[in-house]
Amino acid sequence: MPPAIETRALRKTYPAPVAQRRARPSGGATSALNGRGEVLALGGLDLAIAPGEFFGLLGPNGAGKTTTIGILTTRVRATSGEASVAGADVATHGALVRRRIGVVPQRPNPDRGLSVLENLLFHGAYFGLARTHTAQRAQQLLEQLGISDKAAARVDDLSGGQQQRLMIARALLHEPDVVFLDEPTVGLDPQARLALWEILRTLHRDGRTIVMTTHYMEEADQLCGRLGIMDHGTLLASDTPAALKARAPGETIVHLQLDGDADGAGAACRALAGVSRVDVSGSDLRAYCRSGAESLPALLRTAEAHSRSVRNINLDKPSLETLFISLTGRRLD
């Protein structure tokens, strides 16, 4: 079966914001700016997502998730490289792609002058669907999504979670093969978030290909069959959540916050038995250990021997978070 989504060496640069361009001669370049004063949002992305997958793009703000979704949904034009969705090239067959996809944007963008049902009827008309068919399908979707009592309501009278459900109903109205959701649970309260998770699981069980972006590790872990971890416009790792977690080095990460720079103590800790790796950043020291309990006393002694007091101690279990730290040296949030 051909992939539902495929990208090859996908690149996107944006012109730098005017304020940054002006600041450059004196202030120097921001890290995201390349030599030509452009923002590098995607640095050559290679992705292949099979039909029926629930794929998650996980990464911090600025990683390039929305840009990726933008290109795949034909809203953003790539600078170079290729991308196809449901077998159609996004650059040359945009209209075909748009008919086969449903998009739930990062911020709900319903037509606020229309009622809930009218929003769906309007969308159906845009896709050339017969009005009676659209009305039936809209009613059915509103029921499935638990907002059928809101059909006549104005959009402004809906809660954030209800607006998000309207966006999902709109995305599904024309029966797309592939559904894109860009950070769909941002701003939702915990209850609405769990309800949305159930909706997404149902969409997946129905056989649709789902591509979702998120910066919530737990969400990615719970929902997605496969994840791509992104940072600074590149894919750092891509696998099932279980395989990614198994790749996180060590059994435990002992995180010590010292009262001064951790370079000397870090170098000494690297030599300790049971410590597979040590990352140092300023006064933070992270030791990847076979056993946190076994290594902690030696790590504390080593810090003291380098004239450092320990301000704070954290023990982190292997998780997507610890994998992200090991890949980037930073926390995801």
If one asks whether residue 43 binds ligand ADP (CB under 6 A), the answer comes out as no
Rounded-to-integer distance, Cα 1 and Cα 220, Å: 25
If one asks whether residue 68 binds Mg ion (CB under 5 A), the answer comes out as no
Three-state DSSP state, 296: helix
Tokens of 93: 């067959």
If one asks whether residue 67 binds ligand ADP (CB under 6 A), the answer comes out as yes
> What single-letter amino acid sits at 193?
R
Burial state string for 89-125 with b = 16 or more CB within 10 A and e = fewer than 16: ebeebbebbbbbbbbbbbebebeeeebbbbbbbebbe
Rounded-to-integer distance, Cα 277 and Cα 253, Å: 9
Question: Given the complex with Mg ion, which of 72 and 299 has the nearer CB atom?
Answer: 72
> What single-letter amino acid sits at 133?
H
If one asks whether residue 299 binds ligand ADP (CB under 6 A), the answer comes out as no
Question: Given the complex with Mg ion, which of 66 and 164 has the nearer CB atom?
Answer: 66
DSSP 218-267: HHHHHH-SEEEEEETTEEEEEE-HHHHHHHSSSSEEEEEEESS--HHHHH
Shortest distance (Å) from residue 57 CB to Mg ion: 9
Among 56, 58, 64, 287, the residue binding ligand ADP under the rule CB under 6 A is 64
Beta strand pairing call for 209-214 and 178-182: parallel
Among 53, 59, 64, 66, the residue binding Mg ion under the rule CB under 5 A is 66
State which of positions 199-238 bind ligand ADP (CB under 6 A): none
If one asks whether residue 302 binds Mg ion (CB under 5 A), the answer comes out as no
Q: Which one of ligand ADP, Mg ion, none interacts with residue 67, CB within 5 to 8 A by kind? A: ligand ADP
Question: Given the complex with ligand ADP, which of 63 and 179 has the nearer CB atom?
Answer: 63
Residue with tokens 């699981």: 201
Question: Given the complex with Mg ion, which of 65 and 208 has the nearer CB atom?
Answer: 65
If one asks whether residue 74 binds Mg ion (CB under 5 A), the answer comes out as no
Shortest distance (Å) from residue 165 CB to ligand ADP: 22
Applying CB under 6 A, the site for ligand ADP has a residue count of 12
Among 65, 208, 255, 286, the residue binding ligand ADP under the rule CB under 6 A is 65
Among 7, 66, 163, 302, the residue binding ligand ADP under the rule CB under 6 A is 66
Among 21, 29, 61, 189, the residue binding ligand ADP under the rule CB under 6 A is 61
Burial state string for 38-57 with b = 16 or more CB within 10 A and e = fewer than 16: bbbbbbbbebebeeebbbbb
Shortest distance (Å) from residue 69 CB to ligand ADP: 8
Shortest distance (Å) from residue 187 CB to Mg ion: 13
Measured between alpha carbons, how far apart are the two ends of the chain, in Å? 37
> What single-letter amino acid sits at 200?
L
Rounded-to-integer distance, Cα 96 and Cα 147, Å: 30
Q: Which one of Mg ion, ligand ADP, none interacts with residue 14, CB within 5 to 8 A by kind? A: ligand ADP
Shortest distance (Å) from residue 150 CB to Mg ion: 27
Shortest distance (Å) from residue 14 CB to ligand ADP: 3
If one asks whether residue 38 binds ligand ADP (CB under 6 A), the answer comes out as no
Question: Given the complex with Mg ion, which of 41 and 258 has the nearer CB atom?
Answer: 41
Applying CB under 5 A, the site for Mg ion has a residue count of 2
DSSP 73-126: TTSS--SEEEEEETTEETTT-HHHHHHHEEEE-SS----TTSBHHHHHHHHHHH
Residue 297, number of CB atoms within 10 A of its CB: 9
Three-state DSSP state, 46: strand
Among 23, 32, 50, 296, the residue binding ligand ADP under the rule CB under 6 A is 32
Can you give the binding site for ligand ADP, defined by CB under 6 A?
Answer: 14, 32, 39, 41, 59, 61-67
Residues that bind Mg ion (CB under 5 A): 65-66
